[in-house]
A = this chain, B = another copy of it.
Amino acid sequence: MELITDKAAMRAWSRARHLQHKRIGFVPTMGALHAGHLALVELAAQHADEVVVSIYVNPTQFDRRDDFERYPRAVADDQSALAGTPCRAVFAPSDLYNHDHMTWVEVPALAAHLCGAYRPGHFRGVATIVTKFFSIVTPDVAVFGDKDYQQRRVIERMVSDLDLPLTIVAGPTTREPDGLAMSSRNARLTAEWRAAAVSIPDALFAARDRFLGGERRVGALRKPMLDAFAKTGGIVDYVAVADDATLTPMGDDQRVDRPAVIAVAVFFGGVRLIDNVRLDP
């Protein structure tokens, strides 16, 4: 497994493989790798001949400086974690932006709601850095996890609208044994808050079960979730039942009569966690 820190070297690595007619798979990450990331690497390997994993904590997608600074960084551990996987190259640049960077890629309509409403500029930063990575790594396929559902949808839309020459593959969310979605942020939870955070998957799965049992009223799906987080001390950014096509939250008086997603963002002990489940009527 190669460690590449330089744009030109990354380009050359990919170019050499394209000239050998090899397909490149790409898994962009911010490091602090866990089993969820490793599952995305395995998935990428099913769609490509060689897999590149990037490790880069992208400053432009953080709306809060303290969140950026506290984001876990452990490149040596990350390389060890990738040693047993099909990853062939780690791209870990120290910096990727011009000092006076001023170009932005945006999908405003898909970024207006859910996390986009609570993290100003977040998806603009994501779309921009991902465009840069696609330009440098030139993958044939890139894998994005379903845990960051809105992110994957923004990227899929950007790839289609800009004719970027690659395919996006969705990776299912990897969960801890108790159901909590794996996230680099989980490491920042105390034992107490970690126990409380399981109310996220519990509430999501309970809502999905009610939906599968015939409940279609948005309010009746949302209310028990809000109650659950109130009980476990979760501070809610949003608990939304959103139209899957537009990611626009539906009103409590509406009915889920089309594909939808229940998406939540809840703080436990100051750590912001997100998760989601799809609903298909």
Contact = CB atoms under 8 A, between A and B. Distances in A.
Interface stretch (A66-74, A103-111, A190-198): A103-111
A135 B163 CA distance: 6
Given A7-B163, A138-B165, A104 B103 contact: no
Q: Tell me which of A105, A127, A128, A136 has the highest count of chain B C-beta atoms within 10 A of its own C-beta.
A: A105
A11 interface: yes
B108 A162 contact: no
A103 B105 contact: yes
Nearest to A11: B165
Nearest to A104: B106
Q: Tell me which of A98, A106, A127, A161 has the highest count of chain B C-beta atoms within 10 A of its own C-beta.
A: A161
Contacts of A131: 162
A10 B234 CA distance: 52
Contacts of A108: 102, 104
A108 B105 CA distance: 11
Nearest to A136: B163
Contacts of A110: 102
Given A131-B162, A135-B164, A102 B98 contact: no
Contacts of A98: 160-161
Interface residues of A, number: 31
A132 interface: yes
Q: Tell me which of A7, A110, A164 has the highest count of chain B C-beta atoms within 10 A of its own C-beta.
A: A164
Given A164-B135, A165-B11, A104 B105 contact: yes
A196 to B, nearest CB: 37
Interface of A: 7, 11, 19, 96-98, 101-110, 127-128, 131-132, 135-136, 138, 157-158, 160-165
Given A101-B161, A102-B108, A104-B105, 17 more contacts: A11-B165, A102-B109, A102-B157, A102-B161, A103-B127, A103-B157, A103-B158, A103-B161, A103-B162, A105-B105, A128-B162, A132-B161, A132-B162, A132-B163, A135-B162, A135-B164, A138-B165
16 contacts: A7-B163, A11-B165, A19-B19, A96-B163, A97-B161, A102-B107, A102-B110, A103-B106, A103-B127, A103-B157, A104-B106, A105-B105, A131-B162, A132-B162, A135-B162, A136-B165
For the complex of A and B, 8 pairs with smallest distance between CB atoms: A103-B161, A135-B163, A102-B109, A132-B163, A103-B158, A103-B107, A136-B163, A101-B161
